[in-house]
Amino acid sequence: MGVNDKAALVTGASSGIGSELARELAARGYDLVLLARRADRLQALAGEIAARHGVRCHVLAADLADRAQVDTVVERAQRALGGVPLTVLANNAGSGVWDLFTDVPRDIAQRDIDLNVTALATLTHDFVARAKAHGRPAYVLNIASLAAMLPAARFAVYSATKSFVLTFSEVLAWELRDSNVRVTCVCPGGVKTEFLEHAGQELKKDVGMMDSPEVARQSVEAMLRGEVVFVPGALNKVSALARFLPRGLRLRLVERSMQMAVRPAK
Ligand SMILES: NC(=O)c1ccc[n+]([C@@H]2O[C@H](COP(=O)([O-])OP(=O)(O)OC[C@H]3O[C@@H](n4cnc5c(N)ncnc54)[C@H](OP(=O)(O)O)[C@@H]3O)[C@@H](O)[C@H]2O)c1
């Protein structure tokens, strides 16, 4: 196996969109660092990917809601990769609880802010500094949500953290426009993953949910094209237009469509 010249750190790689981003990037020849809390899942995926694509695949078990752990992630990822430069940061790990804000325990709301906002900004800061230093074409791929454009009732913290990801990505992409680093923010609508279960949702009706391999493929293609904001899927692109509606109408429509699709899990 020769020495590669590109590598990706994928957060939230133990399931859903993150596992598929890892498979997609490996198919394009990237060495990988897979990050999540569930090390056993990451090991299994690393074995599968290395065997199928012949890339090097490292595992980094870390809790991104813990600031002390976040502080050393990029450094640890680069150390694991040896001389292979880290050229992609896929900030995919994210969580949310679907409930009235005042009914969400304060520490759970804080955990989602720490993961979706603080960890994402810290990793991006560390990654961009290193990418500017090595000078190779580099990419930040931030996974936000359609909720960044269409905030949803019972998803106050989640919607707000994803709005942060969208705004942060837009400004960072602009600031880095003359550099070697590109920034892409993906805003998926519903995707069939474990996210629903973790958010406390049960699917009532599949209204245009996408499969995670398709979302991952489209996301990586948008990243390589250098698109700043990308909404996967035709139906989601149309839905995103609702962001131009008056606020009250928009909130009502989003609430109705969520109520059609999901119910609180028992
Ligand atoms: N599914 C959807 O409908 C949907 C729609 C729009 C946007 N998104 C976004 O897509 C991204 C991926 O979600 P998904 O749908 O693939 O959900 P998922 O299957 O639940 O995956 C979430 C990933 O994040 C990791 N994670 C959670 N908390 C973590 C922590 N504290 N530290 C490190 N890793 C952590 C999980 O791994 P461990 O549990 O092993 O740590 C898992 O690998 C999220 O940012 C989500 O907001 C999802």
The superfamily in CATH containing domain 7-264 is NAD(P)-binding Rossmann-like Domain (3.40.50.720)
Per-residue pLDDT for 14 more than 90? Answer: yes
How far is the centre of ligand 1, averaged over its atoms, from the C-alpha of 177 (Å)?
29
Per-residue pLDDT for 230 more than 80? Answer: yes
Q: What is the CA radius of gyration of the chain?
A: 18
Average pLDDT over residues 54-60: 98
Distance, CA of 82 to chain centre: 25
Out of 195, 206, 218, 258, mutate this one to test ligand 1's pocket (max ligand atoms within 8 Å of CB): namely: 195
How far is the centre of ligand 1, averaged over its atoms, from the C-alpha of 14 (Å)?
9
54: left (phi over 0), alpha (psi -120 to 50) or beta: left
Sign of CA dihedral 143, 146, 151, 155: negative
Considering only CA atoms, which residue is closest to atom 16 of ligand 1?
16
Per-residue pLDDT for 37 more than 90? Answer: yes
Q: Write down the pTM of the prediction.
A: 0.98
pLDDT tens-digit map of 149-194: 999 999 999 999 999 999 999 999 999 999 999 999 999 999 999 9
Band (pLDDT 50/70/90 cuts) for residue 92 is: very high
Indicate the domain borders of the chain. 7-264
Average pLDDT, the chain: 97
Average pLDDT over residues 143-149: 98
Task: Provide the token pair at 221.
Answer: 């293609």
46-53: which pairs have CB atoms within 8 A and are 24 or more residues apart? Answer: 49/22, 49/23, 52/26, 53/26, 53/27, 53/29
Quick check: CB of 65 below 6 Å from ligand 1? yes
Average pLDDT over residues 23-46: 98
Quick check: CB of 155 below 6 Å from ligand 1? no
| pLDDT for the residue 266 | 79
Band (pLDDT 50/70/90 cuts) for residue 1 is: low
CB burial readout 240-250, b (16+ within 10 A) else e = beeeeeeeeeb
| Nearest alpha carbon to residue 60 among 49, 70, 48 | 70
Q: Give CA–CA dist 161/95, Å, rounded.
A: 10
Residues 105 and 64 sit within 8 Å (Cβ to Cβ)? no
Per-residue pLDDT for 2 more than 80? Answer: no
Ligand 1 atom nearest 93 alpha carbon:
24
The set of catalytic residues is 158
